[in-house]
Amino acid sequence: MNRRPSPPPTLPGFTYVEPLGTGGFADVFLYEQEMPRRRVAVKVLLADRISSGAAQEFADEANVMAMLSTHPAIVTIYQAGVAGDGRPYLVMEYCPRPNLQIRSRKEPFSVAEALRVGIQVAGAVETAHRAGVLHRDIKPANILVTEYNRPALTDFGIASTTGATGDSSGMSIPWSPPESFAEPPQSGPRTDVWALGATLYTLLAGRSPFERPGERNSSADLIERIERAALPSLARPDSPESLQRLLDRAMAKNPDDRFPSAVAFARALQKVQIELSHSVTPIDIVDDHPPAEDLEDDGDGLTRVREIVSIDPGMQSATRPSAATQPKGPSVVVPDAPRFEMPPRAEPAVEQTQRRRPDGEGLAGTAPQRPASSTSVPASSSRDDRTIVRPPQVVQAQAPAATPPVQPPAPAPAPAVESADRPQRSRKGLWITLSAAAVVVVVGGIIGLNALVAGLAPEPKPESSAQTVDPQNPVSDAVPRVTELAGTRAGDQVTFTWTNPDPVEDDSYIWTETGGAADGAVKQAPDETVTFTPAASGQVCIEVMLRRGDGRASEPVTGCVE
């Protein structure tokens, strides 16, 4: 039976809005932060759990998520503290869209979206593993969706170190591997690989891997199938056989038969994307000491490895690790030179990004580098190249498309025997010939230069007759939540009604009975009312979302009746 949320705490700088959800150890509330102004989700530990070990687990979760939350596929942690009533709390990124469990129950994912989400979440899990953290509770309900429609892994409440073996309390049975039910339970990176495979299967099938429609699906039934039964086929005509083989390997009964790591699982998903001619989703991994076995695959351009930069308080600035400071052994971190090297350009890049002294030297005391070309001059004269007079043929060498200058005619060969009485006339004729040659060279140079300028001049662009279009906001308007959700009892049946604040044609409603005895199935209602027989006596609660005809849905609203 679902319980009522605990009273929301008073937090300085935050204004309470509404409850978001309840759990066995904590409640989650929606608050509005005053500075900076934004909506946030605040997870608050229950008061009766403070004296138990849950308080330490709560603090551990805050530290783990804060360490990993810069990853784009992990929920961001803003701050943590203790409220005035003594309850610890955690301020997190608010993800307003339905989580992947709600979406997959509504309808299965397309193969393309399931592959994309699987790769993004696998990158987050690999990042956690390389930081020494196991999640141990990966499932669709723990993958939220941000405002930008990106998956965000959350709920590291039962996370542990990658070498841990022990209690698996709090695990979700439908997505747990066989070793989780052993005595004692076992955990490791391949335990999370199983859960990744089971989560992907759920997105594609619309149900957990060993759940059988129309049959008993109790915890004992699921455990028996997880330990002994073969993985059912997806039975989707749009799913390739390679994807089924991938899921079979990820969810092998023997951990040694699974993918060795989350990044290996992600790379297998990328190969399916390539097979289907889909856009390949990059794998985001934050790590400064990757395992050696991953080296051979990091040059494929499909994995983005981002460094963790350590800043020494005694240094004035942080620098990336260089080859001299890298630890010995293989590493997949992209070296500095390829990361920052600019491609050759017509003008040196340093002149665009480096401030110079008036004398032309860089601030670092090094002379600016110049691109190699046929017009370069010796280093000793590089600072005076603006005043060097270049011969016309050098200009023509830079512009081969220009009209070549007219070469001066070669002087007529002198007779073999020169008369002694004609020296003055010969010299005079020589000067006339040289002067004519100079004129021809100058004219040819001018013609070549004009041709060069004409060739470099941009062609006039036709004026566009289309009107200027104002930029549009690509984010569609939010769907409003239903209001006045209330319930009444009539014998064994319960009726809930609600109001649509902004009715639009083709509107419908999605509702789910919540609580421990409910099956969590997502149902549809065409009108603002629903009548059903609850799964258990006592308090009955449902969640209702308004769904537009184009598939957009509002945030869920919860209502209860005693």
pLDDT at 159 over 90: no
Q: Do the beta carbons of residue 546 and residue 554 sit within 8 Å? A: yes
Q: Which CATH superfamily is domain 483-561 in?
A: Immunoglobulins (2.60.40.10)
Residues facing 557 on adjacent strands: 544
| Residue 249 pLDDT > 90 | yes
Task: Indicate whether 10 pLDDT > 90.
Answer: yes
361: tokens are: 């030297």
Q: What pLDDT is recorded for position 158?
A: 56
- Residue 333: which of 373, 362, 385, 295 has the closest Cα? 295
CATH (residue range 96-310+329-340): 1.10.510.10
Convert the pLDDT of each residue in 185-234 to its tens digit. Answer: 888 899 999 999 999 999 999 999 999 999 999 999 999 999 999 999 99
What was the pLDDT predicted at 433?
A: 54
Both tokens assigned to 532: 């059903």
335 pLDDT more than 90: no
Rounded to two decimals, what is the model's pTM? 0.53
Domain 1-94 carries which CATH code?
3.30.200.20
Q: Which of 200, 131, 197 is nearest to 160 (CA)?
A: 131
- Amino acid 409: pLDDT: 53
Give the residue from 247, 332, 260, 262 showing the smallest Cα distance to 297: 332
Domain with CATH 1.10.510.10 in the chain: 96-310+329-340
Least confident of 334-338, 396-400, 437-441, 475-479: 334-338
Confidence label for 43 from pLDDT (cuts 50, 70 and 90): very high
pLDDT of residue 36: 92
Considering only residues 60 and 274, tell me which one the structure prediction assigns the higher pLDDT: 274
Q: What is the mean pLDDT of residues 90-107?
A: 93
Which DSSP string do the residues of 395-437 spell out, in sequence order? HHHH-TTSPPPPPPPPPPPPPSS--TT-HHHHHHHHHHHHHHH
Strand 303-306 and strand 283-286: the pairing is parallel
pLDDT band at 116 (very low <50, low <70, confident <90, very high): very high
CB 20 within 8 A of CB 41: yes
For residue 501, what pLDDT band results from cuts at 50, 70 and 90?
very high
SS (H, E, C) 246-311: HHHHHCCCCHHHCCCCHHHHHHHHHHHHHHCCCCCCCEEEECCCCCHHHHHHHHHCCEEEECCCCC
> Under 8 Å CB-to-CB from 397, ≥6 apart: which residues?
374, 375
Please, where in the chain does CATH 2.60.40.10 lie? 483-561
Q: Which one-letter amino acid corresponds to residue 411?
A: P
Helix (H) or strand (E) holding 119: helix 111-130
Percent of the chain with pLDDT over 90: 38
Spatial distance between the Cα atoms of 312 and 326, rounded to a whole number of angstroms: 16
pLDDT per residue over 378-395, tens digit each? 333 334 444 344 444 443
- Per residue in 443-497, pLDDT (tens digit) is 555 555 454 444 544 545 444 444 444 444 333 457 899 999 999 998 888 999 9
Q: What is the pLDDT of residues 232-243, one digit of tens each?
A: 999 899 999 999
